[in-house]
Structure 1
Amino acid sequence: MTKIFEMPLYPYTRTADQDAAAPVRHTAMIVGAGPVGLAAAIDLAEQGVPVVVLDDNDRVSFGSRAICFAKRQLEILDRLGCGQPMVDKGVVWNLGKVFFGDRRVYDFNLLPEEGHHRPAFINLQQYHLEDRLVARVRDLQRQGAEIELRGGNRVQAVDDLGDRVRLGIDTPEGPYTVETDWLIACDGAGSPIRSMLDLDFVGRVFEDNFLIADVVMEAEFPTERWFWFDPPFNPGQSALLHKQPDGVWRIDLQLGWDIDKEEEKTPERVIPRLRQMLGDEVAFELEWVSIYTFQCRRMERFRHNRVIFAGDSAHQVSPFGARGANSGIQDADNLAWKLGLVIQGRAPEGLLDSYDAERIAAADENILNSTRSTDFITPKSEISRLFRDAVLDLSEHYDFARPLVNSGRLSLPSVYDGSPLNADDALEGGPARTRPGAPCPDAPAGEGYLLDRLGGAFTILTLDAEAPERVSEAGIDAARVALSAGDDPTGALAERYLGAARSAIYLIRPDQHVAGRWPAYDEARIRAAIRRATGQE
């Protein structure tokens, strides 16, 4: 049977741009048809912005690569019209277990509260995610959206011309040149675009290597995240086990620093290591093997005039914690609505500076958490190791020690505290989790869920409060979503959005982050908040 990652999904075809007498100028172009580039393209297309995606490949990524997709990213994919297929295909999990040696020291639940449409995480191979994103692109094309995927198009040169960007592109039929008003670089950790612009990362590379293997096997392990410190099958190191769809399991084994990477990827080295872990009685096949080194780095700035970087091209973190693809999808979620408004002339170009402000802060938060995880997983001194092992021993019996165990703080959505787009917080007694800058937590709302009703536009959310059905300010329309605490008999809606307040009004951004909140409708403050959230004040 043909595997999904062997099938060309967007094969090279000649375009009219290649036969034009002068470079054709496009509105927006994206380099990289991975999860981040495709998510950004879909978001722009849904806003009516013409977009072209370039990739030197013509199919989904080989190997599962990213596999853990968090609840917030599933909610973003819902807004983009492709969340449900991911959940249907993915392996849903909320429970994790931590082992020290051969002892289970404790369990944790990543979604201990009810009232959310989506689970804490699903495990899904990246190639399945990309396949479904490409299918969404095809849906949009059939609906008349101006979104184009060009496989076999390798960018060879980038020139910033001030008011536009010129790209030199190579194809199987030779080179051609195009121009674009805006370029989004989603071309991965080794970003050729970043190199062509002579830009680099700042940060830290850790002296350790991990074997990552996708293994096809029939096993009785439960659908949980299992992490071992100093396991008997990999003494002095660590290990991780995750279940994926289609009988594929992800195994990570720490190897140390001084290794021959190419030799360690050979079946002759990998298979004995896996047999030590799984036992001789378990039959398995290798689907994909790689070696990775922990890196926690980012660009100093993500926006360089009309070239904007997102995902791994802008920042890198270690894999433990599922912060790579998840943070990249949040980049696209943050950028696309802003760029759409700028392109449509409904917001000033300066709005894009808030992408830098918000997503650099998010990257720093991810790098901090990833660095702490790496230091705990791979202690660099004997004192650090003694401390780590003492924490693990205590965590088996004492609750206070468990928050100190760091096997990879799992991805959570970023809160944009201090964002220049945040309006005032005038809701006395309002919950901290829905303060300005925070992503909207889901909650039951009538027969469905809140986030499905918010959609992807500016929204005025009212809870037991009166307000106009629509407010139009500075080219922005904000429609009202009217709810009452009684719409949710579980109490989750009131707990998450009212707190100690009796009524509330929220201004919600298109990426479903809170822009401002008040106890009652105040037209002047709402209008000012809309202007501020769109960079007009």
Structure 2
Amino acid sequence: MQLPSYPYHQSLEQRSGQPQRRPVVIVGAGPVGLTLALDLARRDVPVVVIDDSDHIGSGSRAVCWAKKTLEVFDRLGVGEPVAREGVRWQRGRVFHGEREAYGFDLLPEAGHKMPAMVNLQQDQVEARLVRAAQLEPRIELRGRHELIGLEQDEAGVTLNVRTPDGLFDMRADWVVACDGARSPTRTMLSLSFTGQVFEDRFLIADVRLAPGARPRGLDPARPERWFWFDPPFHPGQSVLLHAQADGLWRIDFQLGRDADVEAEKQPERIKARVSEMLDGAPFELAWSSIYQFACRRAERFRVGRVLLAGDAAHQVSPFGARGANSGVQDVDNLGWKLAAVLKGEGADAGLGLLDSYEFERIEAADDNIGHSTRATDFISPKSALSRRLRKAALDLAAHTAFAKPLVNSGRLSMPTEHVDSPLSTLDDQAWAGGPGPGCPAPDAPLEAGGWLSEALAGGFALLAFGWPVAVEGVKLITLPGEGLAATRYGARPGSLYLVRPDAIVAARWHAFDAAAVRAALARAHGRSE
């Protein structure tokens, strides 16, 4: 695929010498920043995205895109191409040595538009997002614009930007930092970035097998996630394998904390490791990298009119595909709130909604960091006792059900349940099942065709099971009082759900009360009715 670029050009600010006020400036043109730009543009909010580069980064980097992220991409017009071009999978296998310890299925039930996971190299996902942004008239994508300073006051933020033609100032109502783990914006805000840095190093190798080669039974037609503890081809360490698009396979080798990084970078050393794993089958080494990771987050995700998202706000280990996916979910949470604030939907909407972004996404970051830390501790035990406990869990998992949950090769990305969200209205009646307030709204097929995830369309929606109702300013989706959707929502004829624009449940009732719906809608906007 030919990757698009976003070449430098002089802006209106530079030509006029006067700062132009922008509603939102996004710093960073990676998947997170571009997703937010597309989301805001769909909400009729003009956006400027600045990046110190002018092209998509090299290498596959993030490859696993979870169902929730795919649903966000789908709403923005890129979900179906990503799902079509990537490798769909939902099953995984965990090995101890050569023996399988257990297997899992991320989405055992049918009736969802998007698959559990799609593997597609980050550069190809970014290419889709860049092209979509370049076609959107409300988005201005500026390459080779480096943020070197910012100051804010009650009315907005002034950004000092360096370009090939020198320095100039921009003015914004709001700034969102999506500029990665080394975020200059976070540094300018003097925010601490605390957590745990792991000493273990890992090698990524993207390889392409020779036509017809099937070492270890690898079959592109049946892609699965394979994880080995202590395999014979890499004793004492761990290995992760994923199928990717374009006939590539991603292999992660644990190298240990004492690895000689310079020696391990050598192509011949990498090829020797891969060859041993693939039983000598011929292959091409397409890309490689060595990484060391951390599980940590910023102390705040909002400082006045500047907000942090993605790796600028938090980092996790790559086991579980929680990095890029949680970043996309950050901006899915933020986009509608920022648009509502800019449109003045409620006198105190700014304080309530944007503080709720920080509350909810810090909760999600802590959830992801906890999962990632536990996975890393299991994958890389630090003591003899931990190693013995891990071996016992792996041995038992092959024969007993109770031990399978003890084996942790990375809990795969799932959206966080914000059960304590200040935007939610608590249940006033008992429910037999279904997602409660603060939980993600599940997808389901619609009777007339299409999918519930499509019908939600990024706005507030009222799901009415059994018969229609009406509340001004809220989209109505009428669903059968019985059937798959009703079962997933724990609904009966007459039940209703109020769903937020980020597909999070705001409230639910077993009977319609227009006043209760209006009060819940006001609370979900961060204000009293």
What is the TM-score normalised by the length of structure 1?
0.94
> What RMSD over aligned residues (CA atoms) do the two structures have, in Å?
1.4
SS across alignment from 1:140: coil
Equivalence for 1:478: 474
Partner residue, 2:385: 383
Name the structure 1 match of 2:260: 260
Could you say which residue in structure 1 is the equivalent of 2:436? 435
AA at the equivalent of 1:448:
G
Q: Residues 102 and 173 from structure 1, CA distance in 2 versus in 1: closer, same or farther, beyond 3 angstroms?
A: same
Alignment of structure 1 residues 413-432 onto 2, 5 Å:
413-431=415-433
Name the residue aligned to 1:303.
Answer: 302
Aligned to 2:114: 118
Quick one: distance in 2 between partners of 1:59 and 1:227?
33
1:208-249 per-residue CA deviation (whole Å, 9 max, x = no partner) reads 111112223344313110100001111111000101011211
Structure 2 equivalent of residue 373 of structure 1 = 375
1:245 aligns with 2:245: yes
Whether the aligned pair in 1 keeps the contact of 2:75 and 2:454 (CA below 8 Å) is yes
Q: TM-score, normalised by structure 2?
A: 0.95
Matches within 5 A, 1:134-533: 134-141=130-137, 146-218=138-210, 219-220=213-214, 221-222=218-219, 223-285=223-285, 287-347=286-346, 348-350=349-351, 351-431=353-433, 433-446=434-447, 447-468=449-470, 471-472=471-472, 477-486=473-482, 491-499=483-491, 501-533=492-524
CA distance in 1, matches of 2:362, 2:450: 34
Contact 1:430 1:497 in 2 (8 A): no
Letter in 2 for 1:464: G
**1:160 Cα deviation (Å)?**
2.2
Greater Cα offset, 27-36 or 9-18: 9-18
1:466 positional shift: 4.0
Q: Which residue of 2 aligns with 1:88?
A: 84
In 2: Cα distance, 1:75 partner to 1:8 partner:
24
2:34 maps to 1:38: yes
Given that residues 465 and 521 in structure 1 are in contact (C-alpha distance below 8 angstroms), is that contact kept between their aligned partners in structure 2? no
Contact 1:294 1:374 in 2 (8 A): no
Q: Per-residue CA shift, 1:294-328, capped at 9, x if unaligned?
A: 31100111011111000000000000000000000
Cα distance change, pair 527–430 in 1 and its aligned pair in 2 (3 A): farther
Q: Mark the runs of 5 or more structure 1 residues left unpaired by the alignment.
A: none
Contact 2:134–2:140, Cα closer than 8 Å, also in 1: no
Report the Cα distance in structure 2 between the residues aligned to 1:139 and 1:430, rounded to whole angstroms. 46
Counterpart contact for 1:428–1:519, Cα < 8 Å: no
SS at 1:52 equivalent: strand
Residues 40-72 of structure 1 show CA distances to partners (whole Å, capped at 9, x for unaligned) of 000001101010000111122211111000111
Matched, 1:15 2:11: yes
Residues 427 and 504 of structure 1 are in contact (CA less than 8 Å); yes or no, is this contact kept in structure 2?
no
Where 2:293 maps in the other structure, the secondary structure is strand
Does the 8 Å contact 1:76/1:83 carry over to 2? yes
Contact 1:465 1:520 (8 Å CA) reproduced: no
C-alpha displacement of 1:497: 1.3
**SS class of match (2:292):** strand
Unpaired runs of 5+ in structure 2? none
Deviation at 1:197, TM superposition (A): 1.9
Aligned residues: 516
In 2, Cα distance between equivalents of 1:527 and 1:283? 61
**Percent sequence identity over aligned pairs:** 52
Q: Distance in 2 between matches of 1:466 and 1:268?
A: 66
Counterpart secondary structure, 1:207: coil
2:234 match: secondary structure: coil
Letter in 1 for 2:176: I
User: What is the CA-CA distance between 1:503 and the residue it aligns to?
Assistant: 2.9
Matched with 2:21 is: 25
Secondary structure, counterpart of 1:434 in structure 2: coil
Per the TM alignment, residue 427 of structure 1 is displaced from its structure 2 partner at its CA by 4.6
Q: CA deviation at 1:430?
A: 4.2
Q: Give the conservation status (yes or no) of the 8 Å contact 1:426–1:519.
A: no
